[in-house]
């Protein structure tokens, strides 16, 4: 009996270690990460450019929520210590008083997001982009919502991997340098097909986004399970009949309670099972298609297109680089060095 248990534990340990290694440390083609960099850069650029439309209201010396009002939210009765969440909050808006300097930094921030899109000094600007996004959210937490959480999350993981290895100025410069080097060594005709440099950190970055997306949907579903309207199948009506969210009229759904019920239950079931079903390759396209449908629906009918797109970008972490390359360069990929070509994936 003891031997049986010992063998089981040994097998379980070996399986766990091997599984962990495969999950986190298998090299990955950074193509998906490259596309994510462009999409996240666009999201950050747009999100922060919109602040410009009411700069004084949100970031001016007074504004809708001035510093006093912001800090009053965190003050606690005498004798109690300040929560660590408050002590750890930081924002460059708290350190700089001059509006001219803040404006200059805002323009610089927009420039940094543009560089992220273009992929110039990609990893450095990815780190800066994350810090900028966090700093803005800390100044105006009252004006933030899910979009900002997704933006900061995506920016946080982007710099872990070589996000500028594909579809970037960095990649173009590197390619040009290598071609010049090869030409300088007199190798004659330079091959147009460059090998793909697989990367372990690209895999880690993608895996972290994937895990985070699973957590988001899992806890979103758990939250919904506490609500009566989700359990009784009417919650979708509450979402589409909210005048402040509405951008396309969906009140015609009032005549189709069964459709409302199906959509409500489907949403909860999809969120609840996302973290399990998104991993098997057979289910993945279905789960991701549902994600696109749900988030485009939120964007079109509920006026939150930026948020909807941010969630779709997060889901893109589950798209294999093979498909990205096939779609963008019409060349299929992935022959690890030493592998037999017959097993390679062909275009």
Partner 1 sequence: MSRPKTPAAADEPGITPAIPPRPWSSGVKWLVSAALLFHVTAQFIATWTAAPPDSALGGTLSEPFHFYIAAARLNQGYRFFAPNPEASHLMRFRIFDADGNPVVLNEFAVNEEKTEGQLPPPELRVGLLEPKARLLYHRYFMLTEQLDRAIPRPIPANAPVEAHAAHAQRERAFLAMTDSFSRELLRRFGGAKVKIQLMEHNIPSTQEVTDGMSLDDKKLEMFHPKTFEYPRAEERPPSTPR
**Contact set for partner 1, span 248-307 (CB under 8 A):** 248, 251, 253-255, 257, 260, 299-300, 303-306
Nearer to partner 1, 13 or 219 (CB): 219
**DSSP string of 204-241, one letter each residue:** HHHHHHHHHHHHHHHHHHHHHHT-HHHHTT-HHHHHHT
Nearer to partner 1, 119 or 299 (CB): 299
Alpha carbons 5 and 47: distance in angstroms, whole number: 55
Rounded Cα–Cα distance for residues 170 and 122 (Å)? 7
As measured in angstroms, the least distance from the Cβ of 63 to partner 1 is 6
Q: What is the largest CA-CA distance in the chain?
A: 78
Shortest gap between Cβ of 342 and partner 1 (angstroms)?
Answer: 10
User: According to the binding rule CB under 8 A, does residue 193 interact with partner 1?
Assistant: yes
Contact status: 204 vs partner 1 (CB under 8 A): yes
Could you tell me which residues come within 8 angstroms of residue 155 by beta carbon, excluding any fewer than 6 positions away? 40, 44, 126, 129, 130, 133
Question: Which parts of 160-189 interact with partner 1 (CB under 8 A)?
Answer: none
Residue 6 burial (CB count, 10 A): 10
For residues 36 and 313, the answer to whether their CB atoms sit within 8 Å is yes
Site size for partner 1 (CB under 8 A): 112
Using CB under 8 A, which of the segments 111-119, 171-179, 203-211, 285-293 binds partner 1? 203-211
For residue 287, give the nearest of 276, 298, 274 by alpha carbon: 274
Q: How far is the CB of 65 from partner 1 (least distance, A)?
A: 6
User: What x-and-dash track marks residues 38-77 binding partner 1 by CB under 8 A?
Assistant: --------xx--xx-xx-xxx---xxxxx-xx--xx-xxx
Does 138 engage in binding with partner 1 (CB under 8 A)?
A: yes
Q: What number of CA atoms fall less than 13 Å from residue 141's CA on the CB side? A: 12
Closest to partner 1 by CB, 8 or 328: 328
Task: Single out the residue of 3, 81, 185, 226 in contact with partner 1 (rule: CB under 8 A).
Answer: 226
Q: In this chain, which of 108, 173, 286, 345 binds partner 1, going by CB under 8 A?
A: 345
């Amino acid at each position: 009996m003891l031997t049986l248990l010992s063998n089981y534990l040994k097998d379980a340990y070996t399986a766990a270690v091997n599984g962990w290694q495969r999950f986190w440390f298998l090299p990955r083609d950074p193509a998906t990460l490259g596309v994510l960099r462009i999409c996240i850069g666009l999201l950050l650029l747009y999100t922060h450019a919109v602040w410009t439309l009411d700069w004084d209201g949100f970031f001016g010396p007074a504004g809708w929520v001035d510093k006093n009002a912001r800090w009053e939210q965190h003050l606690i009765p005498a004798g109690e210590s300040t929560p660590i969440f408050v002590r750890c909050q930081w924002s460059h808006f708290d350190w700089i008083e001059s509006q001219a300097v803040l404006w200059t930094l805002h323009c610089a921030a927009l420039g940094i997001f543009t560089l992220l899109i273009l992929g110039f000094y990609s990893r450095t600007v990815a780190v800066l982009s994350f810090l900028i996004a966090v700093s803005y959210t800390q100044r105006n937490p009252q004006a933030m919502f899910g979009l900002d959480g997704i933006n900061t999350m995506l920016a946080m993981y982007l710099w872990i991997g070589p996000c500028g290895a594909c579809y970037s100025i960095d990649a173009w410069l590197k390619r040009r340098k290598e071609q010049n080097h090869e030409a300088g060594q007199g190798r004659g005709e330079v091959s147009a097909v460059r090998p793909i440099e697989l990367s372990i950190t690209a895999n880690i970055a993608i895996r972290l986004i994937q895990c985070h997306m699973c957590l988001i949907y899992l806890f979103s579903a758990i939250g919904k399970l506490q609500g009566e309207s989700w359990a009784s199948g009417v919650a979708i009506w509450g979402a589409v009949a909210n005048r402040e969210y509405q951008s396309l009229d969906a009140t015609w759904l009032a005549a189709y309670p069964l459709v409302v019920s199906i959509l409500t239950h489907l949403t909860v079931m999809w969120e609840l099972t996302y973290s399990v079903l998104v991993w098997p390759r057979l289910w993945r396209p279905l789960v991701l298609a549902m994600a696109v449908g749900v988030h485009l629906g939120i964007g079109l009918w509920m006026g939150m297109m930026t948020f909807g797109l941010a969630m779709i970008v997060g889901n893109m972490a589950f798209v294999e680089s093979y498909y990205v390359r096939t779609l963008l360069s019409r060349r299929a990929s992935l022959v690890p060095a030493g592998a037999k070509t017959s097993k390679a994936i062909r275009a």
